Amino acid sequence: MGLQSSVVRITGDDLDLNHQRYRVLALFILLLFAVGCSQANETPDADPTDPATAAIVASTATVSPEPLPTPTQTPEPTPIPAGVTISDQPLDESGTLVAEVVTLPEPGWLVIYRTVDGKAEDVIGRQPLAAGVHEQVVVTVEAQAATDDLMAGVHKDLGAEGVFEFPGEDEPYPGEPEAAFAVELLLPMPQVEVADQSVVEDGVVTLTSMEILEPTWVAIHTDIEGEIGPVIGSRLFEAGTYENETLTIDWRRATPRLHVVLHEDEATAGVFDYPDEDMPILMRGEPVVASFEATYPPELLVYDQPIIDGTVTIERAISDGPGYVAIYNEAEGQPGFIIGTEALEDGLNERVTVTLLQSAITTQLFARLHQDTEPGDAFNFPGQDPPVLYNNRLPNAAGFRTDSGPHVYVADQRLGDDDTVVVATVISPVAAWAAVYDDAEGQPGDLLGQTWLPAGVNRDVLVELEGAEPGTFHLVLYQDLGAAEEFEVPGADTELRSNDNRPVRIPFVLIPPADR
């Protein structure tokens, strides 16, 4: 049997029909898949072990997001409190002290103070430190300035780095983190001893004993209300031990109580530069001082002066016990009779005003010291209250005149606070002006300042200067003849003249500042 070929003819209509069938079939399959998925989600009894079910579940499961990790908090360090721990310890001339622990929250200073009455006073040592905790901190102090009780504290370093600015920006930490401690001072100490004594006209004072450790100025100071006053005598001593050494004082400026003070010789060697330099030597934070009582020859300091309102002024008088100053008129060149008296206290009396019997005033007057033999009673002479004797003789009376015209006492000096100079004394019979000029080839040049003065004795007169530089100046007195207290030069106010008809012009020197 032979093979037969058959030809199948596929037309376009047939293709269209086939495509439609395929589309219907695909839709049916998709529908079945959707129904199956729905049943897998909704049917609780589906067997999870069935592979088909597991595949459907896996393909339709919702993926839950993984939680984000919680960041770990960085712990903040506990701030370091500012403070210092320091124990009692010895202190020798090296000045070395040790603090066991010093804590600083930021760079700062360990500071050592000397104390007065339990309170921190001057800083005597400091040590810069970085922030942190420090152990066994060594700090060097001014050993001679140390007191038996000291205080340690901590300061900030807020100003220039590494520069201690206190008082200033480098203030102490708040909260009082100070620590008090005691030191045993193991220092060699200079010493001076002096006994009460009489000082005669030569002004010699005897020092009983001294121990000097280095070149030292021994100065004798006056007393001002229990405090150390101006220097009236000094002498330089080399290191060594001394007995019954002497030095000379200006006894006419002395007070009944005097103070022997040991001073450094730190500025110009061999030159006593106090009060600008060569300060008192400090031990335990205090000057080395020996005080004593002194008696002097009877002496009165009184200036020539006009009679103002029937009075005269005694500049100073030292009375050995209660006494009197008596003013005598003149009789044939000698003290005549008493025309005025004023009581004196024991010791130093300054600027004592004495009222006079005006009808008995002469151009030449005399002042004399008298005893007060019955304290509390009125002056009674010649029955009581005799003149003070010295070495069993009557000293000469202090004479002064009432017609000598104006006087000025001014010393060379440095320019003071507020650009002022001080005129120690101006004595004028009339209201006047004290004017200061710069120097122009030995004569008064440009006016720099002036001060008005009443008639009489004027002390410690301040004249404010404008544009003053160290050099020579001239003090000139003018009579206030124009409008009262109005400086009219050139004009109505004319120069005051002395009794010999010369203008009162006093040159003086303005000294450069000590730090130049």
pLDDT band at 33 (very low <50, low <70, confident <90, very high): low
Measuring CA to CA, which residue among 170, 131, 127 is closest to residue 152?
127
Check which CATH number belongs to the domain holding 256 and give it. 2.60.40.10
Pair 218, 130 in one domain: no
Beta-ladder partners of 260: 220, 290
303, pLDDT greater than 60: yes
Distance set, CA 445 to CA 35, 437, 442 (Å): 125, 6, 9
Structural domain contains residue 384: yes
Token duo for residue 208 = 């009983």
Most confident of 40-49, 69-78, 189-198: 189-198
Condensed to tens digits (0 to 9), the pLDDT of residues 315-367 reads 999 998 999 999 999 999 999 999 999 999 998 899 999 999 999 999 999 99
Which of 295, 325, 352 is the endpoint of a domain?
Answer: 295
Pair 125, 219 in one domain: no
Pair 94, 170 in one domain: yes
Mean pLDDT of the chain: 87
173, pLDDT greater than 80: yes
Structural domain contains residue 223: yes
Give the pLDDT mean for 435-463.
Answer: 95
In the Cβ-directed half-sphere of 462, how many Cα atoms lie within 13 Å? 7
286, pLDDT greater than 90: no
Measuring CA to CA, which residue among 295, 227, 294 is closest to residue 261?
227
- The span from the CA of 472 to the CA of 453, in Å, is 23
Which of 366, 401, 436 is the endpoint of a domain?
Answer: 401
Give one DSSP letter per residue of 217-254, joined into a string: EEEEEEEETTEEEEEEEEEEE-SEEEEEEEEE--GGG-
Pair 306, 274 in one domain: no
Structural domain contains residue 468: yes
- The span from the CA of 381 to the CA of 360, in Å, is 18
In the Cβ-directed half-sphere of 381, how many Cα atoms lie within 13 Å? 22
Structural domain contains residue 438: yes
5, pLDDT greater than 60: no
16, pLDDT greater than 80: no
Check which CATH number belongs to the domain holding 170 and give it. 2.60.40
Pair 454, 378 in one domain: no
Q: Following CA atoms 475, 477, 483, 485 in sequence, which dihedral angle do they give, to the nearest 10 degrees?
A: 60
Give the pLDDT mean for 171-193.
Answer: 91
- The span from the CA of 126 to the CA of 385, in Å, is 63
Cβ count near 155 (within 10 Å):
22
Condensed to tens digits (0 to 9), the pLDDT of residues 111-151 reads 999 998 888 889 999 999 999 999 999 999 999 889 999 99
Which of 167, 186, 205 is the endpoint of a domain?
Answer: 186
Give the pLDDT mean for 448-457.
Answer: 95
Range of 93's domain? 83-186
Query: What is the number of structural domains in the chain?
Result: 4
